[in-house]
A and B are shown apart, each in its own frame.
Chain A
Amino acid sequence: MALSKTASQTDVSIHSTFASRYVRTSLPRFRMPEESIPKEAAYQIINDELMLDGNPRLNLASFVTTWMEPECDKLIMAAANKNYVDMDEYPVTTELQNRCVNMIAHLFNAPLGESEAAVGVGTVGSSEAIMLAGLAFKRKWQNKRKAEGKPFDKPNIVTGANVQVCWEKFARYFEVELKEVKLRDGYYVMDPEKAVELVDENTICVAAILGSTLNGEFEDVKKLNELLTKKNQETGWDTPIHVDAASGGFIAPFLYPELEWDFRLPLVKSINVSGHKYGLVYAGIGWCIWRSKEDLPDELIFHINYLGADQPTFTLNFSKGSSQVIAQYYQLIRLGYEGYKNIMENCRENATVLKQGLERTGRFDIVSKDDGVPLVAFSLKDRSRHDEFEVSDFLRRFGWIVPAYTMPPDAQHITVLRVVIREDFSRTLAERLVYDIEKVLHELDALPPKQLLQNGGATTTAAAAMLAAKKPSAEDLQRSVTEHWRKFVLAKKTNGVC
């Protein structure tokens, strides 16, 4: 009698992933697993977990590009295995970076001769760009002070309190004091007059922001330039300006070409811009452009020599992928001036649609201006029953990610919600968002108001009596604990509202 052998140990490669044993084992969290698993299983498992991430295109918190054309995706994947820093091995990639630098420098009206090469570098983002620019200013200032025989151990930088967290990083890591111009109610950017007042002999530069992260406003760089020129004449300190154009750098030249904010102003010595914001490239690329060679101290530059060719480099990162640089060049030649202009105009249109929709609900104040980065920052007119954080939470249920945050000092009592309009946020989506916000408002209206504990402990005697009388339920306790921790963490300057 022939006994048929049951197929107990079938070849694992024929099992479909969800039939295999791999989806039954728990994932490695702390230790590397002992054995390998098939690549299909690895792909599927990770892909499935990632489904629980937010949807990048519905992430209205971020300025960073979330959609690119398929042709560009092809180029990006093909370049994934090129290490950007191998300049000798990949000379064309290096040249594409140089071309991007030149194009952006010309876009910012850098005072260059006909065939003069621009001074600039591609970075991983505006953070690195700002650190490099800051480092250049710090070194120039130190050299100047050393030559004058004056102390150079207490450099500072003047900027607005609306500054993005990377400036604080720069200040903390590179041991530069940060002197912030406080905001005030209704004025959410750096006041040029106050800024110039704060400038002293230890100031390495004044940083202006073109496109504040909080409400998208452009700071008045021209006025700052005038006031600072006057002060420089009086004091002889020669304090320069850096423009953080992370968002605005790819908007102003196309929507507001007559606005003078770039190298047309003589005190502006360096500008940074994020390629991955309105440069329309995926996350991971920024640019820093200097006015001229003199503004970049040579001692900071590393000369990498490849069999005769000198390639100067000035970056914090070394090895990194080439994909984003190539993608940036793709966008620059694909779109050209008219393409970028069309896209920015579309964004502005859609921002207007959203703004009008919100105004029509009658429940919001619009905090952002019309001119600036295409975003809409709005706050509730009536905060007594519910606040912006709740609106943000409820919108999450529809899939929208709309952040709510408080303004920095001295405007901490203002909370705003912010929606960033990116290239891929069409009118349909704008209208849908308004519709969903109205739904959220309906829902909130039906709910009881938030706890009195919200108001930082400032309760009236009547309320206090009420509190004392009421025994805190488990839910109250949980809420109060969450609130306490939220306030504790908020107290440390945060937010990657970026």
Chain B
Amino acid sequence: MVLTQVQQLDEGSSYTSSVFASRYVQDPVPRYELGTSSISKEAAYQLIHDELLLDGSPRLNLASFVTTWMEPECDRLMTETANKNYVDMDEYPVTTELQNRCVNIIARLFNVPLNVKEAAVGVGTVGSSEAIMLAGLAFKRRWQNRRRAEGKPYDKPNIVTGANVQVCCEKFARYFEVELKEVKLREGFYVMDPEKAVEMVDENTICVAAILGSTLTGEFEDVKLLNNLLTQKNKRTGWDTPIHVDAASGGFIAPFLYPELEWDFRLPLVKSINVSGHKYGLVYAGVGWVIWRSKEDLPDELIFHINYLGADQPTFTLNFSKGSSQIIAQYYQFLRLGFEGYRNVMNNCMESAKILREGLDATGRFDIISKEQGVPLVAFSFKERDKTLAFKFSNLLRRFGWIVPAYTLPPDLENTTVLRVVIREDFGRTLAEKFLSHVKMALKELDSMIRAPVPTIRYTIEFGPGENAGDEPMVKVVKQEVGGIQKSVPLLSGKTKGVC
């Protein structure tokens, strides 16, 4: 008798079974410990892809300034260069040169005082955080060297900035042991007041940081006024305090929309500027730029000279190995769009912002806090003074798919809560109008939530003995209270979020 042998299902050769037919979608996916065996690549892809479906949709994320759409040609370039380690300057000389070209282009966009063929001093970073840390480090070292030469103490450096500053400045202060002196905000004035800032400057101040494009309201700070006041103070004191401009958002807006606005190297006290390539530089997350005015503003002791077979490439970054994709994408954008392209994109953003602003205004429920000149975003708060409304509203909008953050302003305006919508390149008129219709629907729901809470009546009762012995105990109502819902919504306090 011939015994037929049953074909065992070979786990490894499950080439024919579709992913959702295989056992991979039933086995628990490794979460905290490395799984012992491998799984097929199709299954791995599918499992991760499916989990990620539950992430928010990047393009509906109205909280972020960071670019969420690029042209397919650029995507191709990025995929092709994903395996190039940017720091291998000798192996990838063209990529290194593209970075240098970007630095030069951005430097000249910021009117750096250089001759036509002179190389600019600057570097590509992973974002404005790294850029600000490098700039701060340069200021700190320069200040320390100067104080040491003067024989004065140099152990208590501080930096003056507005309370509206983004969290990375605090990180810099905390990690590099520099004191952060914040100029508090006040009602109606949501950026750093130049006069107050200059008052706070003392001999230990390494620099004053102005923000072009505040994260909270998109406003541009008056760098020119700061420059004038600080020049006056420097003349009196002889301290020579410089300015750093955090143009993370505004750096790629002001040159195109407001070219006559003086905020950059045209002002003599501005020694370094940082800008995020991944915000209005129109590149995906992961690239920032910091430009110094001249070689003197970057102490040579901070620069590492990497030698590759004769060619000296100076580097000054915190990160070492990283991907080249974003740098190449940035150059692509410069080449592809050019000056007119960027200007067109920014004009479109401002248009969308205007539509949004007018639509929100028309509802009659909001105060618009953001100004018309500045980063294209709309920051608005409820006219009613209830602090919790903004958070509830943000939750309601979430149900439609929109991510609109709500947050409290920093001191001294902690009582104001603000909602903020950032207009990016890919937020056109259609989306703006759709958003407004959802706002109206959400407002209706919000109103019904507030005006008709589930009613509760609270009785306090007393048991007493019955009138006659042997009777049931008597219940007497002592107190009756009618209450509304007390739903506590945790409020943001302190420096938080990546309201970034």
Contact = CB atoms under 8 A, between A and B. Distances in A.
Interface of A: 27-40, 42-43, 45-47, 49-50, 52-54, 56-57, 59, 61-62, 64-69, 71-93, 96, 99, 102-103, 106-107, 124-128, 131, 135, 153, 165-166, 168-169, 172-174, 274, 276, 282-284, 299-300, 302-308, 316-322, 324, 326, 329-330, 332-340, 389, 392-393, 401, 403, 482, 485-486, 489-490, 492, 494-496, 498
Nearest to B69: A81
A128 B318 contact: yes
19 contacts: A42-B73, A43-B77, A46-B77, A50-B94, A52-B93, A56-B83, A74-B45, A77-B79, A79-B52, A89-B61, A99-B31, A165-B306, A165-B320, A172-B302, A304-B497, A330-B45, A336-B34, A486-B307, A495-B306
B263 interface: no
Given A77-B79, A326-B52, A34 B104 contact: no
A276 B79 CA distance: 16
B44 A103 contact: no
Interface in B294-349: 301-302, 304-310, 312, 315, 318-326, 328, 331-332, 334-342, 344
Interface in B344-403: 344, 391, 394-395, 403
Given A283-B322, A389-B309, 15 more contacts: A32-B105, A36-B337, A39-B72, A43-B76, A50-B81, A282-B323, A306-B497, A316-B129, A316-B319, A317-B127, A319-B278, A333-B30, A334-B38, A338-B37, A401-B90
Residues of B contacting A: mostly: mixed
Contacts of B35: 332-333, 336-337
B interface, size bucket: 35 or more
A452 to B, nearest CB: 19
Contacts of B68: 81
Contacts of B104: 29-31
Closest 4 CB pairs of A and B: A334-B44, A42-B336, A43-B73, A71-B45
A428 B119 CA distance: 44
Interface in B131-183: 133, 137, 155, 167-168, 170-171, 174-176
Q: Which of B49, B85, B321 has the most CB of A within 10 A?
A: B321
A53 B95 contact: yes
Nearest to B177: A175
B91 interface: yes
Contacts of A274: 321
B498 A304 contact: yes
A84 B498 CA distance: 11
B170 A302 contact: yes
B39 interface: yes
Nearest to B67: A81
Interface of B: 29-39, 41-42, 44-45, 47-49, 51-52, 54-56, 58-59, 61, 63-64, 66-95, 98, 101, 104-105, 108-109, 116-117, 126-130, 133, 137, 155, 167-168, 170-171, 174-176, 276, 278, 284-286, 301-302, 304-310, 312, 315, 318-326, 328, 331-332, 334-342, 344, 391, 394-395, 403, 405, 490, 492-498, 500
Contacts of B133: 316
B109 A32 contact: yes
Contacts of B56: 86, 89-91
Contacts, number: 395
Contacts of A330: 44-45, 48
Contacts of B301: 172
A389 B286 CA distance: 35
Contact of A84 (B49, B81, B285, B326): B285
Nearest to A90: B55
A76 B76 CA distance: 12
A128 B319 contact: yes
B33 A320 contact: no
B127 A318 contact: yes
Contacts of A72: 41, 45
